[in-house]
């Protein structure tokens, strides 16, 4: 019998972090605003009207109005989406905390009607790579070991593969990268709390990092990743899209179904006169 995989996320801690972020005000959600603008732009490019949209998010208050008339669902393990109930599902800035991101995408795909659209945005790639390295080096220097501090980030090609595994057609994965400047590491950590992205890993140390570790990490961060105003932090927001299969969608040719060989095409190109 295969042992059950330990959870990645402490959902109670994540909910507590999100509630605290909302109490801290709107200033910490600048990356959510960027993601909202990108989602709106992507929807504007689709020549289709959506009448039964759904929105999955941990921040319903922040995402309110981004997808007009959307039925909002919390990003729980079981999303509560009904099969074939929606023509659009937007999974907003929450998938990076999922213990089973493929399961979340499959649930979203099953909720789509034929030719319905799935859109997701989440942190991934090189997000917070500088903070991750600084904390790891500092903890190794001071404590001689490592403790889970930063959420593992998925790579774009891996996430794109999940769209295909979920049975979605015409899958696309792309990212938007941003660099943000902060006076120091502690200002960055304050901003992470203000956007609800504090440490909610299930395997984290409940005692928190020692002050000596934080001070050493701040030194390493400043030395290795300086900016004119202090330090720089990287954020990658990955965007995923895929369609519920439909007979009218374009499809790739079956292997071996081409009527002309590549050699023939290249030979014709060579013999075609140029202006």
Tell me if 1 is assigned to some domain: no
CB 89 within 8 A of CB 56: yes
Tell me if 5 is assigned to some domain: no
What is the reported pLDDT for 262?
A: 47
Tell me if 237 is assigned to some domain: yes
In the block, residue with structure tokens 């500088």: 130
Q: Which residue from 90, 88, 84 is spatially nearest to 104, judged by alpha carbons?
A: 90
Which pTM value belongs to this model? 0.87
CA gap 255, 272 in Å, rounded: 28
What burial letters (b/e) apply to 57-90, b meaning 16+ CB within 10 Å?
bbbeebbeebbeebbebebeeebebeeeebbbbb
Helix %, strand %, coil % of the chain (to 5): 40, 20, 40
Instruction: Find how far residue 128's CA is from the centre of its chain.
Output: 13
- Domain residue limits at 129: 11-271
What is the length of the chain?
A: 275
Tell me if 70 is assigned to some domain: yes
What is the reported pLDDT for 4?
A: 67
Domain containing residue 152: CATH number: 3.40.50.150
Full pLDDT tens readout for the chain, 275 residues: 445 678 889 999 999 999 999 999 878 899 999 999 999 999 999 988 999 999 999 999 999 999 999 999 999 999 999 999 999 999 999 999 999 999 999 999 999 999 999 999 999 999 999 999 999 999 998 877 777 778 899 999 999 999 999 999 999 999 999 999 999 999 999 999 999 999 999 988 777 678 999 999 999 999 999 998 899 999 999 999 999 998 776 665 454 544 444 455 445 545 555 44
What is the reported pLDDT for 6?
A: 81
Structurally, the chain folds into a number of domains equal to 1
Tell me if 2 is assigned to some domain: no
> Which tokens in the block code for residue 61?
């208050």
What is the reported pLDDT for 25?
A: 85
Tell me if 4 is assigned to some domain: no
Q: Helix, strand, or coil here: 17?
A: helix
Q: Which residue from 236, 202, 233, 204 is spatially nearest to 99, judged by alpha carbons?
A: 202
Strands 226-227 and 230-243: antiparallel
Q: Helix, strand, or coil here: 236?
A: strand
């Amino acid at each position: 019998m295969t042992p059950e995989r330990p959870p990645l996320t402490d959902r109670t801690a994540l909910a507590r972090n999100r509630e605290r972020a909302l109490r801290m005000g709107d200033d910490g959600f600048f990356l959510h605003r960027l993601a909202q603008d990108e989602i709106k732009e992507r929807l504007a490019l689709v020549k289709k009207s959506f009448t039964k949209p759904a929105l999955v998010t941990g921040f319903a208050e922040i995402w309110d109005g981004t997808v007009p008339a959307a039925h909002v669902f919390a990003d729980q393990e079981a999303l509560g989406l009904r099969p074939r109930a929606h023509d659009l599902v937007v999974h907003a800035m929450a998938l990076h905390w999922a213990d089973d991101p493929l399961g979340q995408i499959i649930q979203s795909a099953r909720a789509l009607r034929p030719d319905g659209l799935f859109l997701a945005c989440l942190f991934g790639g090189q997000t917070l790579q500088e903070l991750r390295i600084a904390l790891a080096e500092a903890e190794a220097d001071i404590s001689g070991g490592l403790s889970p501090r930063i959420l593992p980030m998925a790579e774009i090609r891996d996430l794109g593969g999940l769209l295909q595994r979920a049975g979605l057609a015409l899958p696309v994965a792309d990212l938007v990268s941003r660099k943000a400047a902060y006076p120091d590491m502690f200002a960055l950590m304050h901003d992470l709390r203000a956007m609800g992205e504090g440490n909610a890993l299930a395997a984290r140390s409940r005692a928190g990092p020692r002050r000596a570790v934080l001070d050493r990490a701040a030194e390493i961060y400043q030395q290795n990743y300086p900016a004119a105003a202090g330090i720089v932090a990287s954020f990658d927001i990955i965007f995923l899209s895929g369609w519920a299969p439909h007979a009218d969608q374009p499809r790739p040719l079956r292997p071996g179904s081409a009527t002309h060989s590549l050699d023939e095409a290249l030979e014709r190109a060579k013999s075609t006169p140029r202006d």
